[in-house]
């Protein structure tokens, strides 16, 4: 259940937000026409998501957003397009210009859901030295990175080849997965490949052979110098 707060001095706008949240489901929303009371609850409850109007009489949503607690995602809802750039500078997830449709609202919620999942994954990387958490088929899957043979980006997904299990297809980018892996243990050798340094058997400037992997992995021209530098550090 995602906890949401909406602050808007127009009751009609709050009613529409409540109806849209109800249609999506799995969202708990509290609404406030008084910006001060609304922000007081934001600081108290620390919801997952805040819907915030910008022009509210003497109160300005841009100014209120500057005091937003860490970990609260922000979506601006306003009729004034001129605030869009300034809104995104405050790291707002999205900017919904009134009147917005349900489909546009749904897309904004999807962005929040994806960012929330990545945020939770990053926070879960605590003291477990040999494990990472991945999103696979919308579920958290724990993987021991010592079991990873290599990673391959394929179109809109990544395939992770494992030593003793079937490949995984996480809903995450290659860059994001690499950021979760231990620094100095894995290296990107091609726009489509990441390999563990510990599994290198031999290599040239254009290819690398891994232990327990039959086919060589290509090395891209823009990655070869970085690969050689990391591998030499490993050998020292």
Closest CA to 134 of 126, 146, 122: 122
User: Which residue, 75, 92, 123, sits at the end of a domain?
Assistant: 123
Q: What dihedral do alpha carbons 79, 84, 88, 89 form, nearest 10°?
A: -120
pTM: 0.54
pLDDT recorded at residue 202: 92
Measured CA angle at 161 (ends 160, 163), to 5 deg: 135
Number of domains in the chain: 2
User: Is there a single domain that holds both residue 48 and residue 151?
Assistant: no
In a 10 Å sphere around its CB, with 0-12 CB exposed, 13-18 middle and 19+ buried, how is residue 124 labelled?
middle
Give the pLDDT confidence of 52-93 residue by residue, as tens digits.
998 888 888 888 888 888 889 999 998 876 666 665 667 788
Last-in-domain residue among 93, 123, 153: 123
Q: 179 and 215, same structural domain?
A: yes
Q: Is the pLDDT of residue 115 over 80?
A: yes
Residues 140 and 224 in one domain: yes
Q: Which CATH number covers residue 190?
A: 2.40.50.1020
Q: Could you tell me which of 177, 176, 182 has the C-alpha nearest to residue 198?
A: 182
Does 117 lie in the same domain as 191? no
Strand pairing partners for 195?
187
pLDDT score of 75: 94
Is the pLDDT at 163 greater than 80, yes or no?
A: yes
- Which structural domain range is residue 149 located in? 131-235
Residues 27 and 91 in one domain: yes
Residues 200 and 224 in one domain: yes
Q: Evaluate whether 209 touches 145 at the Cβ level (below 8 Å).
A: no
Is the same domain home to 79 and 162? no
Cβ-proximal residues to 82 (8 Å cutoff; 6+ apart), any chain:
none
167-181 mean pLDDT: 87
- Pair 107, 21 in one domain: yes
Task: Look at residue 236 in the predicted model and tell me its pLDDT.
Answer: 47
User: 3-state class of 208 per DSSP?
Assistant: strand
Same domain for 64 and 150, yes or no, is no
Q: What pLDDT, on a 0 to 100 scale, did the predictor assign at position 127?
A: 42
d(CA 83, CA 90): 11
| Neighbouring residues of 142: CB distance < 8 A, sequence distance ≥ 6 | 131, 132, 133, 134
CATH code, domain carrying 40: 3.40.50.2300
Res 70: pLDDT: 81
Same domain, 151 and 231: yes
Clarify whether residues 75 and 139 are in a common domain.
Answer: no
Residues 52 and 142 in one domain: no
Last residue of a domain, one of 100, 123, 146: 123
């Amino acid at each position: 259940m995602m906890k949401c707060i909406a602050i808007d001095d127009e009751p009609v706008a709050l009613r529409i937000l409540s109806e849209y949240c109800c249609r999506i489901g799995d969202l708990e929303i509290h609404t406030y026409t008084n910006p001060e009371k609304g922000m007081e609850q934001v600081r108290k409850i620390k919801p997952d998501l805040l819907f915030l109007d910008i022009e509210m009489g003497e109160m300005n949503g841009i100014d209120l957003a500057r005091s937003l607690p860490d970990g609260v995602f922000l979506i601006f809802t306003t009729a004034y397009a001129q605030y869009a750039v300034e809104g995104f500078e405050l790291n707002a997830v999205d900017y919904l210009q009134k009147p917005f449709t349900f489909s546009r609202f749904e897309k904004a919620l999807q962005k929040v859901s994806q960012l929330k999942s990545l945020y939770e994954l990053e926070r879960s990387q605590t003291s477990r030295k040999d494990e990472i958490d991945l999103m696979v088929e919308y579920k958290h899957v724990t993987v021991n990175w010592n079991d990873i043979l290599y990673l391959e980006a394929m179109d809109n997904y990544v395939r992770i080849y494992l030593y003793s299990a079937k490949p995984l297809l996480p809903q995450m980018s290659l860059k994001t997965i690499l950021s979760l892996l231990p620094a100095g243990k894995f290296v990107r050798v091609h726009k489509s490949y990441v390999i563990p340094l510990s599994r290198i058997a031999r290599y040239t400037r254009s290819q690398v052979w891994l232990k327990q992997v039959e086919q060589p992995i290509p090395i891209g021209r823009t990655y070869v110098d970085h690969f050689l530098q990391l591998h030499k550090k490993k050998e020292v």
